[in-house]
Amino acid sequence: MQNYIFELIKEEKIREEKTINLIASENYASPEILQATGSILTNKYAEGYPGARYYGGCQVVDKVETYAIDMCKKLFNAEHANVQPHSGSSANFGVYFSQLKPGDTVLGMALNAGGHLTHGHKINFSGSIFNFVPYGLSPETEQLDYDEIEILAQQHKPKIIVAGASAYSRTIDFEKLHKISTNNNCLLLVDMAHIAGLIAAELHPSPIPFADFISSTTHKTLRGPRSGFICCKAEFAQKIDKAIMPGIQGGPLMHVIAAKAIAFEQAQTKEFKKYQEQVIKNAKAMAQTFTELGYRVVSGGTDNHLFLIDLQDKNKKDNLPETQKLSGKVVEQLLQKCNIILNRNTIPFDTQPPTNPSGIRIGTPAITTRGFVETHACSIVHFIDDAIKNRFDDDFLNKLKIKVEQFCKNFPIYKD
Ligand code: DSN
């Protein structure tokens, strides 16, 4: 029976190799990271922290975790790091659990403005346990409205302001948010999951001097294993560690912690910085090409690894009848037929539901890991535009799929 799963892993490898991946939150982990994640460290129980475990035989994993903590602190210049959160959600839960009581008020970016489920959505634990007040974007600029955040903070007196997003293409001003949190006597949590790699490469201002807590995943721009971590000021170290274990987690995943250590190490190299520079160049080139082809890019462009396309605007410009209208879901499914993978996404002030929103989100971390540069990124935009223009022509779409497969073949993700 096991063979079935190994066959499926092979099938997934072929799928990844043959498709162009524009999902902004995905990437391809290095062979070293895959090796550590698949290592015998998975065998070990190590509840507790280095030097203070509830199990014997932890002498080696203690070294692994200590090294991961050191690498994380060094990379982000942090006073304290906890590398045990299994995911970004656990990391956020850990921060909330360390500081809040049920019902406490928190400000977080609304999901439909580009925030994240764990920033207070009502169907998520965050929104059901705590009193989250959402903030959004300026309708004029489609960018964060720091004055609005300040007013909301004055009105609602939150214990924490949560910054960070999963679909926001502009630089976040952490210094301004720090001022707002200080003025209003509350704490600042920056969830940097999407931009962690850009921050590590010093291509986005770091939240470290300004935030009390930083949460993150490790598998997006940071290009590590699928997991999370927290950095915080030294004064919160004990509370954070207690909140993660025994608060919300049991045994840490030592194989994943080892892989995180490798990711933190890899993120300190010159190659990584060059990679992140190319991620941004590719995103800017794609946003520019979309604009030239008549698409509206939300907020007019991008400063980071992603951007959103407003398909309602395209429907209006092309004067499309109801039956031919584009939506996020229609385009996601259409492109999948041509081996181009992205996700539907709400756009700011979307009138459509998240299941079939008015936008698509495009990210460049994965294609850049593959070696694509601006010319390739622009070709991908033309593939997308061609698919949209010829969406009722199956023969065209089949030919485009073959073209995309050929395009991918020249850039293998894994050499062997
Ligand atoms: N689901 C992730 C994303 O796609 O942005 C965020 O956790």
Question: What's at 390, amino acid-wise?
Answer: N
Check whether residue 261 and residue 288 sit in a common domain. no
7 is a domain residue: no
CA of 25 to the centre of ligand 1 (A): 6
Indicate whether 229 and 365 sit together in one domain.
Answer: no
Statement to judge: residues 132 and 70 lie in one domain: yes
Has residue 373 been placed in a domain? yes
Nearest CA to ligand 1 atom 6: 166
Indicate whether 6 belongs to any domain.
no
> Does a structural domain hold residue 3?
no
Q: How many CB atoms lie within 10 A of CB 268?
A: 13
Are 133 and 222 in a shared domain?
Answer: yes
Residue 270 annotated in active site? no
Atom of ligand 1 at shortest distance to CA of 26? 4
Structural domain containing residue 178: 31-266
Whole-model pTM: value is 0.97
Give the span between the Cα atoms of 280 and 198, in whole angstroms: 9
Ligand 1 neighbourhood includes 114 CB (under 6 angstroms): no
For the domain that residue 347 is a member of, what is the CATH number? Answer: 3.90.1150.10
Q: In angstroms, what is the span from residue 29 Cα to ligand 1's centroid?
A: 17
The residue from 53, 226, 284, 314 that is catalytic is 226
CATH code: domain of residue 165: 3.40.640.10
Asked whether residue 387 is domain-assigned, the answer is: yes
Residues 195 and 299 in one domain: no
Residue 8 lies in a domain: no
Same domain, 135 and 161: yes
Question: Which residues touch 181 (CB under 8 Å, ≥6 apart)?
Answer: 153, 161, 187, 188, 212
C-beta of 136 in contact with ligand 1 (< 6 A): no
Is 328 found in the same domain as 210?
A: no
25 lines ligand 1 (CB under 6 A): yes
Domains held by the chain: number: 2
Return per-residue pLDDT of the chain as tens, 416 residues.
679 999 999 999 999 999 999 999 999 999 999 999 999 999 999 999 999 999 999 999 999 999 999 999 999 999 999 999 999 999 999 999 999 999 999 999 999 999 999 999 999 999 999 999 999 999 999 999 999 999 999 999 999 999 999 999 999 999 999 999 999 999 999 999 999 999 999 999 999 999 999 999 999 999 999 999 999 999 999 999 999 999 999 999 999 999 999 999 999 999 999 999 999 999 999 999 999 999 999 999 999 999 999 999 999 999 999 999 999 999 999 999 999 999 999 999 999 999 999 999 999 999 999 999 999 999 999 999 999 999 999 999 999 999 999 999 999 999 87
Cα torsion through 342, 348, 350, 353, rounded to 10? 50
Select from 241, 266, 291 the last residue of a domain.
266
Asked which of 266, 300, 316 is the last residue of a domain, the reply is 266
Instruction: Name the residue with the closest Cα to ligand 1, atom 2.
Output: 25
Both 125 and 189 in a single domain? yes
Instruction: Please identify, by atom number, the ligand 1 atom nearest to the C-alpha of residue 166.
Output: 5
| Amino acid at position 19, single letter | T
Same domain, 68 and 102: yes
Question: 210 with 84, same domain?
Answer: yes
Q: Tokens for 310?
A: 């407003």
Q: Is-catalytic flag, 226?
A: yes
166 Cβ inside 6 Å of ligand 1: yes
Distance CA 276, CA 225 (A): 17
Bridge partner residues of 370 (DSSP): none
Given 266, 299, 315, the domain boundary residue is 266
Query: Is 49 strand, coil or helix?
Result: strand
Residue 18, in any domain of the structure? no
Annotated catalytic residue 191: yes
CA of 3 to the centre of ligand 1 (A): 31
Query: Within a domain: residue 20?
Result: no
Q: Whose CA is nearest to atom 1 of ligand 1?
A: 25
275 and 399, same domain (yes or no):
yes
